[in-house]
């Protein structure tokens, strides 16, 4: 059974640009959550999608958005990139929103220059 797949693995963008990250959950999983990991702030919850609906959102500016498709794949978009958006972005999937076990992907390393 394939794990959680995040693409791309690495990304370099310029300030002011926008970026889209992709996450394919484990087959059959319908919940996808996103986290930002930085040395200064640690791991912070961005948002969760379940059955194409955003169920919960962390404390991030509106430049951070996401969506989920009918096949449960999720995308995260960051517009007007800032240097501080440089981070490892992790995606986690679970069977349902209430399921206690979440499986993580290997992340996308975003560098903003």
Binding site for another protein (CB under 8 A): 31, 33, 35, 42-45, 48, 50, 55-56, 58, 88, 90, 92, 94, 97, 99-107, 109
The Cα 18–Cα 104 span in angstroms is 24
The Cα 42–Cα 75 span in angstroms is 22
Closer residue to another protein (CB): 38 or 80: 38
Min CB(31)–another protein separation in Å: 5
Structure tokens at 70: 């009918």
Residue 16 C-alpha from the chain's centroid:
20
Min CB(99)–another protein separation in Å: 8
Min CB(89)–another protein separation in Å: 11
Q: 90 near 25, Cβ under 8 Å? A: no
């Amino acid at each position: 059974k394939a794990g959680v797949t995040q693409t791309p693995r690495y990304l370099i963008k310029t300030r002011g640009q926008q970026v889209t990250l992709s996450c394919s959950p484990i087959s059959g999983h319908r919940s996808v959550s996103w986290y930002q990991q930085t040395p200064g702030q640690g791991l912070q919850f961005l948002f969760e999608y379940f059955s194409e609906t955003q169920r919960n959102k962390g404390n991030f500016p509106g430049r951070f958005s996401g969506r989920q498709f009918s096949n449960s794949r999720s995308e995260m978009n960051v517009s007007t990139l800032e240097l501080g958006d440089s981070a490892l972005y992790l995606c986690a999937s679970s069977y349902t929103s209430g399921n206690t076990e979440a499986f993580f992907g290997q992340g996308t390393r975003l560098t903003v220059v």
